[in-house]
Structure 1
Amino acid sequence: MTVQDVDRVSYVQEWEEWHRRKEAVLSAPHGFLAITSLRWLTEEPTRFEDAPGAWAATGDGVVVELDEGEEVTVDGQVVHGRHEFGVLAERASVYVGWGDAVIEVAKRGGHDILRPRHPENALRTAFTFTPAYEPDPRWALTGRFLPFDAPRPVTVGAAVEGLEHVYDSPGQVEFELDGTAYRLTAFNGGEPGALMVLFTDETSGVTTYAANRALQIAAPDAEGGVTVDFNRAANLPCAYTDLATCPLPPAENRLPVAVEAGEKIPLERGGQP
Structure 2
Amino acid sequence: MAVRPIPTPHDTPTGDPDADEFVREWWRWHQRHEAVLAAPHGFLAVTALHWLTPEPRRLDGAPGEWSSGDEGVVVTLGAGEELVVDGASVRGRHVFGEIPERGGVEAVWGDAVIEVAKRGGHHIVRPRHPGNPLRTAYAGTPAYPPDPRWVVRGRYVPFDAPRPTTVGAAVEGLEHVYDAPGRVEFRLDGRELSLTAFPGSAPGELMILFTDATSGVTTYAANRVLKVAPPDADSGVVLDFNRATNLPCAYTDHATCPLPPPENRLPLAVEAGEKIPYERR
Bin of the TM-score, shorter chain as denominator length: over 0.9
Consecutive aligned runs of 4 or more in structure 1 exceeding 3 Å deviation: none
- 2:258 is equivalent to residue 247 of structure 1: yes
Mapping 1:50-61, distance limit 5 Å: 50-61=61-72
> 1:197 & 1:4 partners in 2: Cα distance?
34
- The one of 32, 42, 46 aligned to 2:57: 46
RMSD: 1.0
> Structure 1 residue 265 and structure 2 residue 276: aligned?
yes
Q: Size of the alignment, in residue pairs?
A: 268
Q: CA deviation at 1:58?
A: 1.1
> Please, which runs of 5 or more residues in structure 2 have no aligned partner?
1-13
Whole-angstrom CA distance in 1 between matches of 2:19 and 2:126: 41
Equivalent-residue separation in structure 2 for 1:12 and 1:176 (angstroms):
23
Pairing of 1:1-273 with structure 2 (within 5 A): 5-270=16-281
Gaps of 5+ in 1: none
Q: Distance in 1 between matches of 2:202 and 2:70?
A: 33
Return the offset for 1:17.
Answer: 1.0
2:37 and 2:68 map into 1 onto residues whose CA distance is: 28
Identity in percent: 68
| Kept after mapping to 1: 8 A contact 2:112/2:130 | yes
AA at the equivalent of 1:55 = W
Distance, in Å, in 1 between the alignment partners of 2:59 and 2:159 is 45
**Aligned partners of 2:201, 2:76: CA distance in 1, in Å?**
34
TM-score of the two chains, using structure 1 as the length reference: 0.97
C-alpha separation between the residues in 2 aligned to 1:50 and 1:194? 35
